[in-house]
Amino acid sequence: MAVRCALCGLALSAALATGTARAEPYEVNPDAAARDPDYAAGKAAMERKDWPQAVLRFEKAAAGDPQNPDLQNYLGYSLRNLKQFEAALRHYQQALLLDPRHRGAHEYIGETYLLLGDLARAERHLTALREICLLSCEELEDLARAVAAFRAQRSTVQP
C-alpha cells in the first residue's frame, strides 16, 4: 500500500508540475500585491520557483494582512512545493476559513490531498469547485484532471 501511494504520489507530482501551472492563479483581491512589496516579492519568487523566498515574503505579507485568503493560499502552495504538506494544508484550510468559495485554495488543497494519497478528501474539494464554478472554471478543470490522473495511475499500479 505504501509503495502504491508513493508511486501514485510520484506520478501525480510530475503531472502537477507540468500540467496545472498557469500564469495567473485565482485571487480574491488581485490588486493587493501592488500595495504590498512583500506580497509582490512573494509572487515574483513563486514565478522563479524560489519556494523558500516565496514562503518568507508571503509570511511577512500575511503578518500585515492576516485576513487575506490569497496570501494563505500562496503560502500553502509554496510550502507544498517544499514538500511541507502538513503546513501547506493548514494554510489552505485557513484560506478556506477566510473565504469558503476560494477556487484556488480548493484546487490546491485537493491536489495536496492527492499527493498524500487521500482521494476522498480531494474529491470533496472537486465537488465544492463544481458547486462554486457552476459551468466551469480553470481550477475545476485542473483538479478534475489531477483526480483523473491519480485514479488512472492508481489503477495501473494495483495488482
Domain ranges of the chain: 2-22+32-157
**The pLDDT of residue 25:** 67
Cell 508571503 appears where? Answer: 58
* pLDDT at residue 12 in the model: 55
Region 2-22+32-157: CATH code = 1.25.40.10
The amino acid occupying position 44 is: A
Residue 23 phi/psi, 5-degree rounding, is -65, -45
Give the C-alpha separation, 49 to 120, whole Å. Answer: 29
Residue whose C-alpha cell reads 476522498 in the numeric block: 120
- State pLDDT tens for residues 25-48: 678 777 777 789 999 999 999 999
pLDDT < 70: residue spans in the chain: 1-25, 157-159
